């Protein structure tokens, strides 16, 4: 789905205490992967709790175009009738990944070792994001790539006839690159090995094990991992239950921390340690955040979170923690704006190539709302509560997390905060506004010059 709709600005204003017990939608990473592995299994995979956001719906569409039969029943369960590893069909038209880097990069891995031709397109944001990071290893596996200068979308690939197993050391901490190679390895004869110097989200590895793949994961002494997968692989269909997305829960949690008197609970949040860096950081900042009922669900740790408003203090977030909270820096920046003292965030280079240049977009949003901060090439420092906060209009640059983060800021700020567009929130968290409103958040329609509908 490409973004062509009219921007919908929104204003968030100081709200009274948030209260309630809620569920947030399914995890985006696991939702994409469950559709893809369901497609690569032979037989019927069922998925409950799938995130029905635009990014994941775009992946469902691309999997259909590659031959899977995918239906949603009246109870909200998704049924994926897979074609099996080796069975992907050549799509009749270009695959449109909309705003989704995960959809595009993982799917390029899947098709890169099937002898079919595929053209990949995306929206303006996705078309600016680097694809060379997956095309490099895929080329070594035998994928032919016809790309415009710079390896950006739109691009076309022809998958390898006889894929070559590779040993690959990830030059950047990226679960998308790792996953693209692992998915390519499924249809590759021999052992493909990926070394990751820093552990990144490991949902692909966990899910591949669940679907019956021969995959070994070995931790090294420095916090990295060696992953070996032996192909070709036959995947067995599974019943997948998708837990709630901690990256979406983050916005509710931070809103509750900074709005005095708040107390909310969120059920069944995924707590894979490769995703919980934000929660560790918030607890160091003094957050009253408790996790109960810890359990395993479908190979992933989950638990229920209760959070109460808290006096936060600034901390230093080391670069080594970045992979486990890479999507959470916009939200953390808002928490830091309300904390006492300075918060230092290091190792942020990858933020520059997300749905927007998130470091620049956060910094500009902080400027617009009077928050004392300094930004460098890969770091950000924020000094909280030095002046009244709010009153600004934030440019969201087709980035859902920039929109949600600054709306959360407005709920606790001295003056309202307006974001220039909320349409992209539907990519990851379509229920954001209604859920926040049900907890007590105050939003109002905004009209900016040139955005009249």
> Residues annotated in the binding site for phosphoenolpyruvate, as ranges?
28, 101, 129, 176, 358, 401
Q: Residue 175 Cβ, how far from ligand S3P at the closest point, in Å?
A: 4
- Using rule CB under 6 A, residue 272 touches ligand S3P: no
d(CA 414, CA 88): 54
User: Could you tell me which stretch among 158-166, 169-177, 311-319, 365-373 binds ligand S3P (CB under 6 A)?
Assistant: 169-177
Question: Is 327 known to be catalytic?
Answer: yes
Task: Supply the minimum distance, in Å, between the C-beta of residue 413 and ligand S3P.
Answer: 27
Q: Is 175 in the site for ligand S3P (CB under 6 A)?
A: yes
What are phi and psi for residue 393, nearest 5 degrees? -110, 125
Binding residues for 3-phosphoshikimate, as ranges, are: 28-29, 33, 174, 176, 327, 354
* CB of 3 or CB of 354, closer to ligand S3P: 354
Judged by CB under 6 A, the stretch of 64-72, 168-176, 255-263, 389-397 that binds ligand S3P is 168-176
Of 199, 193, 202, the C-alpha closest to 224 is: 199
Query: How far apart are CB 172 and ligand S3P at their closest, in Å?
Result: 8
Q: How many residues bind ligand S3P (CB under 6 A)?
A: 10
Between 189 and 195, name the residue whose CB sits nearer to ligand S3P.
Answer: 195
Query: Is 359 near ligand S3P (CB under 6 A)?
Result: no
Span from 52-60, 173-181, 219-227, 409-417 in contact with ligand S3P (CB under 6 A): 173-181
Asked if 268 interacts with ligand S3P (CB under 6 A), we say: no
If one asks whether residue 350 binds ligand S3P (CB under 6 A), the answer comes out as yes
If binding is defined by CB under 6 A, does position 427 make contact with ligand S3P? no
CB neighbour list of residue 13: distance below 8 Å, 6 or more residues apart? 410, 411, 416, 442, 443, 444
Question: Which residue, 180 or 337, has its beta carbon nearer to ligand S3P?
Answer: 180
Question: For ligand S3P, which stretch binds (CB under 6 A), given 170-178, 275-283, 287-295, 373-381?
Answer: 170-178
Q: What binding mask, one character per residue, do residues 22-61 give for ligand S3P by CB under 6 A, x or -? A: -------x--------------------------------
Question: Do the beta carbons of residue 84 and residue 45 sit within 8 Å?
Answer: no
* SS3 letters across the chain: CCCCCCCCCEEEECCCCCEEEECCCECHHHHHHHHHHHHHEEEEEEEECCCCCHHHHHHHHHHHHCCCEEEECCCCCEEEEEECCCCCCCCCCCEECCCCHHHHHHHHHHHHCCCCEEEEECCCCHHHCCCHHHHHHHHHHCCEEEECCCCCCCEEEECCCCCCCCEEECCCCCHHHHHHHHHHHCCCCEEEEEEECCCCCCHHHHHHHHCCCCEEEEECCCCCEEEEEEECCCECCCEEECCECHHHHHHHHHHHHHCCCCEEEEEEEECCCCCCHHHHHHHHCCCEEEEEEEEEECCEEEEEEEEECCCCECCEECHHHHHHHCCCHHHHHHHHHCCEEEEEEECCHHHHHCCCCHHHHHHHHHHHCCCEEEECCCEEEEEECCCCCECCEECCCCCHHHHHHHHHHHHHCCECEEECCCHHHHHCCCCHHHHHHHHCCEEEECCCCCCCC
Closest by CA to 168, choosing from 212, 130, 135, is: 135
Kindly tell me which residue out of 59, 113, 143, 174 binds ligand S3P, with binding defined by CB under 6 A: 174
Does 176 contact ligand S3P by CB under 6 A?
yes
Choosing from 31, 39, 179, 192, the residue that interacts with ligand S3P (CB under 6 A) is 179
| Nearer residue to ligand S3P within complex by CB, 61 or 202 | 202
Identified catalytic residue from 27, 123, 202, 327: 327
The CA distance from 395 to 376, in Å, is 20
Least Å distance, CB 100 to ligand S3P, is 9
Residue 99 in contact with ligand S3P, rule: CB under 6 A: no
Instruction: Point out which span in 171-179, 306-314, 364-372, 443-451 binds ligand S3P (CB under 6 A).
Output: 171-179
Residue 206 lies near ligand S3P (rule: CB under 6 A)? no
Residue 201 in the binding site for ligand S3P (CB under 6 A): yes
Annotate each residue in 298-327 with x if it binds ligand S3P (CB under 6 A) or - if it does not, as one string: ----------------------------xx
Residues of this chain that interact with ligand S3P (CB under 6 A) are 29, 102, 174-176, 179, 201, 326-327, 350
**Catalytic residue numbers?**
327
């Amino acid at each position: 789905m490409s973004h062509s709709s009219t921007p919908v600005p929104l204003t968030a204003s100081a709200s009274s205490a948030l209260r309630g017990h809620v569920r947030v939608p399914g995890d985006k990473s696991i939702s994409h992967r469950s559709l893809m592995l369901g497609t690569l299994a032979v037989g019927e995979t069922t998925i409950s709790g799938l995130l029905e956001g635009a990014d994941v719906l775009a992946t469902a569409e691309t999997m259909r175009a590659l031959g899977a039969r995918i239906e949603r029943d009246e109870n909200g369960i998704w049924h994926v009738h897979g074609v099996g590893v080796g069975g992907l069909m050549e799509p009749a038209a270009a695959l449109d990944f909309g705003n989704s880097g995960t959809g595009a990069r993982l799917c390029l891995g899947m098709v890169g070792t099937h002898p079919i031709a595929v053209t990949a397109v995306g929206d303006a944001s996705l078309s600016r994001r680097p694809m060379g990071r997956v095309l490099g290893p895929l080329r070594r596996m035998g994928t032919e790539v016809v790309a415009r200068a710079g390896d950006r979308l739109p691009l076309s690939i022809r998958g390898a006839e006889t894929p070559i197993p590779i040993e690959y050391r990830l030059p950047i901490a990226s679960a998308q690159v790792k996953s693209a190679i692992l998915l390519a390895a499924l249809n590759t004869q021999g052992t493909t090995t990926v070394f990751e110097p820093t552990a990144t989200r490991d949902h692909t590895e966990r899910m591949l094990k669940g679907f019956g793949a021969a995959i070994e994961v070995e931790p090294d002494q420095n916090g990295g991992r060696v992953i070996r997968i032996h192909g070709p692989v036959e995947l067995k269909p599974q019943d997948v239950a998708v837990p709630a997305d901690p990256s979406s829960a983050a916005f509710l949690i931070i809103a509750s921390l900074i709005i005095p008197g708040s107390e909310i609970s969120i059920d069944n949040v995924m707590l894979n340690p490769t995703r919980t860096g934000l929660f560790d950081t918030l607890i160091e900042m003094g957050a009253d955040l408790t996790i109960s009922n810890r359990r395993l669900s479908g190979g992933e740790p989950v638990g229920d979170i209760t959070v109460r408003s808290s006096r936060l203090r600034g901390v230093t977030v080391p670069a080594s923690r970045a992979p486990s909270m890479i999507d959470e820096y916009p939200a953390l920046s808002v928490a830091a704006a309300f904390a006492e003292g300075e918060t230092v965030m290091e190792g942020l280079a990858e933020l520059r190539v997300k749905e927007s240049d998130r470091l620049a977009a956060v910094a500009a949003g902080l400027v617009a709302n009077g928050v004392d901060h300094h930004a460098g090439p890969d770091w950000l420092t924020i000094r909280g509560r030095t002046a009244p906060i709010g009153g600004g209009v934030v440019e969201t640059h087709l980035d859902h997390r920039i929109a949600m983060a600054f709306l959360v800021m407005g709920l606790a700020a001295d003056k309202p905060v307006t974001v220039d567009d909320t349409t992209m929130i539907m990519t990851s968290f379509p229920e954001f506004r209604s859920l926040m409103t049900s907890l007590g958040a105050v939003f109002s329609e905004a009209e900016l010059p040139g955005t009249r509908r």
